[in-house]
Chain A
Amino acid sequence: MSFRSISYLSILTIVAILSVLHFKKLSTPYRLLTGLIVFNWALEITSKILAQKFGNSIPIYHFVILGGLTFNLFIYLKIHVIKKASFIIIVGMTILFIILSVLNSLTNQTINVFPTNGIMLHGLQSITFSLIVYLNMLQYPIQASIFKQPVFWLNTGNFVFYGITFTIFALYNFFYKSSYITSYAHWFIYGANLFLYCSYLYAIILDSKTYHTRNGFR
C-alpha cells in the first residue's frame, strides 16, 4: 500500500473511532453522519482486502455510492430547517440518482468498471444539498459564530470535497490521457478527502459540545 492509502486509511480510522466515541452525545443528523463515516471506513477496509486478495476492489465503489446517496438523504433531511420545496428536491433527487446509479452499475459501467458516473451523481447530490443548506442558513441565521456551527463544517466539507471530485470525474477521461495528470488528480482527491473527514470530525465534536444545552442541563 502506498503512503497515500495508509495515511488516508489511518485518518479515516481515527475519525471513525472518535465519531463512535462521541455517538451518545450527538444529535440525530450527526449520528447518521457517524453511520456514514463507519460505513465508508468498513467499505474502504473491505476494498483494500479485496484489492490484496483478488486484485480488484472496484465493485465496492458501486455500493459506496448507493450508501452515500442514502445517508446523505437522511442527514440533510434532519440537519436544518427544510422548506417543502427543498424537501421535494432532496427526496426526489436522491430517488432519481439511486435509480440512475443502479442502472449505471447494471448496464453502463458494470460492476467491474469504476463507477465515475455514479460518483458524479453522488457529487451532484451533495453539492445541491450543500447549496440548499447554505441558502437555509442565510435565511435563518443564528447567534453563534459560523465557525462554531457543526452544520457549516459538515456542509463545507461536502461542498469542497464533492465540488472537487465532481469536476475531476467529469473530466475523468481527459485526465487519463496523461499519467502525470492522473497522479495530480489523485493527490487532489486525497487532499479533499482529508479535508472532508477533518470537517466531519470537527462538526461531530462541535455537535457533541451542545449535548448539555440540548438536554437542558446547562
Chain B
Amino acid sequence: MVSDNVFFTLIIGTSIFGILIAFIVVFIIIYQKKQQAFQFERETFKKSLLQTEIEIKEQTLSNISRELHDNLGQVASLIKINLGLIAKDLPESESDKINESVDLTKHLIHNIRSLSVSLKSENIARFGLIKMIEKDIERYKSIGGLDIDFKQSNDMTTFDPTKEIFLYRMTQEIFNNILKHAQATKVEFYIQKDKNNITFIITDDGIGFDAQQISIGSGLLNLKERCQIIGAEFNMQSKTGKGTTINIELKNEFES
C-alpha cells in the first residue's frame, strides 16, 4: 500500500512540476513571438512616420524652392536690370561700383537658381540624380572651398524615383556635415552605378570623430534611418583625426 502511495505521489508530483515548467516554457515562446510582432509593428509605424515626415519636408523644400525662384530670383533680376540702367546714365569713372554690384547680383541670381534647383525634388526626375549631384558639388566647391574629386560610372540605369530622392537628400546631408563639422579640405566622392546596385562612397580628410559617440537625433543617425527605409546598407568608418568614409549601397529592385 505504502509503495503504491509513494509511486502515485511521485508520479503526481513530477507531473505537476512538469506541467508548471511546460507552462512557463510555452509562455516564454508565446511572449517572444508577441514581442517580435510588436517590434515589427513598431518598426512599420516608425517607418511610415518617418516617410510622412520626409514627404512633408520635401513639400516644404519644394515650396521654398518655388519662392526662391519666383520671388527672390525675380527681385534679384529686377535689381540687376535697374543697376544696368543706372550704370548707363553715369560716367564711366563712376559706373565701376555699379558694374561690380551687377556682377554680384548675377552671382546672387545664379546661386538662388542653383539652390532652388537643388531644393526641388521633382528636378531629380527632370535632370537625373547624377546631374543634380554634380550641380550641388559645384555649389559646395564655390561656397565651402572644398576640393571635391567626383567620379561616377556612366551607367544610365534608373532607380526607383522615391529612393533616388532619398539618396539625393542623404548626399546633401553628408556634404552639409562635412562643411559644418569635418574641417576637411579634400573630399572623394565615387558613385558606382550598374543594373543591380548603386553605391555611394564619400571620403573626407577632415578631423573625423569617435563613431561610438554619435548622439541621438544627429544627422548621421537620420542617415541610418533613411537607409533602413529604402533598404540600403549604411556603413561609416571614422577615427578622430583620420577623416571619415561613408558607404551607402542600394540594391535596384526597380529595374528587376
Contacts and interface: CB of A to CB of B under 8 A. Distances in A.
Interface stretch (A17-25, A117-125, A178-186): A178-186
Contacts, number: 59
A138 B31 contact: yes
A137 interface: yes
Contact of B6 (A141, A160, A163, A178): A178
A184 B13 contact: yes
A134 B13 CA distance: 23
Contact of B13 (A159, A178, A188): A188
A143 B39 CA distance: 7
Contacts of A171: 9, 12
A156 B5 contact: no
B27 A175 contact: no
Interface stretch (B16-24, B95-103, B188-196, B203-211): B16-24
A175 B38 contact: no
A186 to B, nearest CB: 12
Contact of A181 (B5, B17, B32, B38): B5
B135 interface: no
Contacts of A177: 2, 5
A181 B30 CA distance: 36
A178 B5 contact: yes
A170 to B, nearest CB: 10
A141 B24 contact: no
A143 B35 contact: yes
Interface residues of A, number: 24
A182 to B, nearest CB: 10
Interface string B98-122: 0000000000000000000000000
A54 to B, nearest CB: 32
A100 interface: no
Interface in B203-229: none
Looking at B21, B24, B39, the one whose CB has the most chain A CB atoms below 10 A away is B24
B75 interface: no
B31 to A, nearest CB: 5
Interface centre among B23, B32, B38 (most CB of A within 10 A): B23
Chain B interface size range: 20 to 34
A178 B2 contact: yes
A146 interface: yes
Contacts of B30: 138
Nearest to B5: A178
A77 interface: no
Contacts of B34: 138, 141
A164 interface: yes
A160 B24 contact: yes
Interface string A156-168: 1001100110011
A180 B6 contact: yes
Nearest to A140: B38
B45 to A, nearest CB: 14
A137 B27 CA distance: 10
A180 B2 contact: yes
Given A138-B34, A181-B6, A167 B28 contact: no
30 contacts: A134-B27, A137-B31, A138-B27, A138-B30, A141-B31, A141-B34, A141-B35, A141-B38, A143-B38, A146-B31, A159-B23, A159-B24, A160-B20, A160-B21, A160-B24, A164-B17, A164-B20, A171-B9, A174-B5, A174-B9, A175-B9, A178-B5, A178-B9, A180-B2, A180-B6, A184-B9, A184-B10, A184-B13, A185-B9, A188-B13
Given A143-B35, A178-B6, 6 more contacts: A142-B35, A146-B28, A164-B17, A168-B13, A177-B5, A181-B6
